[in-house]
């Protein structure tokens, strides 16, 4: 049977809306970045494959000093979709085997020469860690997706695509300010046309 925890409305309307405060991408770019994060984060150099990308990573680490949550991070470098430089992600890591950080990641936009952090985006306002090896469902039930909300931006961030891929489980996310519900499954982002806590 399917369990969808009734936490979306609680999380959604207990958070403060900050839509538009981060750099947002279109849906296809979000999917592409999330899937690239999944692949590149598993490589030895985590995307820092050239001197300029190594410099970009160093620049991003300096820009994030004092901003990160109290968890461990990996720094992953991707090309900026607009072709102007790099995106460096601080991807949170849990402490236990099977931990997946759902919220708690950061993104730094770095210039093409790797020397300037042009903006820092916190991709959430808090940390949520799930363990893909632990199913908290009552006896006789099993979890088929992870339900959350997002208080930054108007579309799900690419790190949710990444998290869904790591969990090998769909993520259902409601975005502020309108409570629009999205589904992330197999690296694909879908607008369900539904809304949390509101009649349409």
- Domain coordinates in residue numbering, the chain: 8-195
Burial zone of 195 (CB within 10 Å; 0-12 exposed, 13-18 middle, 19+ buried): middle
pLDDT < 70 regions, the chain? 1-20, 198-200
Instruction: Tell me which residue of 123, 179, 183, 194 sits closest to 147, measured CA to CA.
Output: 183
pTM score: 0.88
Q: Do the bridges between strand 146-150 and strand 171-175 make them parallel or antiparallel, or are there none, so unpaired?
A: parallel
Residue 4, pLDDT score = 39
SS3 at position 168 = coil
Token couple for 186: 């197999």
Give the pLDDT confidence score for residue 198 in this predicted structure.
55
Alpha-helical regions (H) of 23-157: 27-40, 51-63
- Structure confidence by residue, pLDDT tens digits, 94-114: 999 999 999 999 999 999 999
Under DSSP, the state recorded for 137 is P
The whole-number pLDDT of residue 1 equals 31
pLDDT at residue number 134: 87
**Looking at residue 143, what is its pLDDT?**
84
In 3D space, the residue among 103, 137, 134, 124 whose CA is nearest the CA of residue 4 turns out to be: 137
Q: What is the predicted pLDDT for the residue at 137?
A: 80
């Amino acid at each position: 049977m399917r369990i969808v925890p009734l936490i979306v409305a609680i999380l959604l309307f207990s958070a403060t809306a900050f839509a538009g405060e981060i750099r947002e991408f279109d849906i296809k770019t979000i999917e592409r970045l999330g899937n690239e994060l999944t692949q590149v984060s598993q490589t030895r150099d985590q995307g820092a494959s050239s001197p300029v990308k190594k410099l970009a990573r160093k620049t991003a680490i300096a820009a994030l000093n004092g901003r990160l949550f109290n968890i461990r991070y990996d720094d992953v470098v991707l090309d900026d979709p607009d072709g102007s430089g790099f995106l460096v992600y601080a991807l949170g890591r849990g402490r236990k085997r099977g931990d997946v950080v759902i919220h708690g990641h950061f993104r730094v936009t770095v210039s093409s020469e790797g020397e300037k952090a042009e903006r820092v985006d916190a991709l959430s306002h808090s940390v949520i860690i799930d363990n893909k090896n632990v199913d908290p469902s009552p006896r006789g039930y099993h979890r088929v997706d992870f339900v959350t909300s997002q208080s930054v931006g108007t579309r799900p961030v690419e790190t949710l695509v990444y998290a869904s891929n790591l969990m090998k489980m769909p993520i259902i996310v409601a975005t502020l300010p309108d409570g629009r519900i999205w589904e992330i499954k197999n690296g694909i982002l879908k607008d369900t046309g539904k809304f949390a806590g509101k009649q349409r």
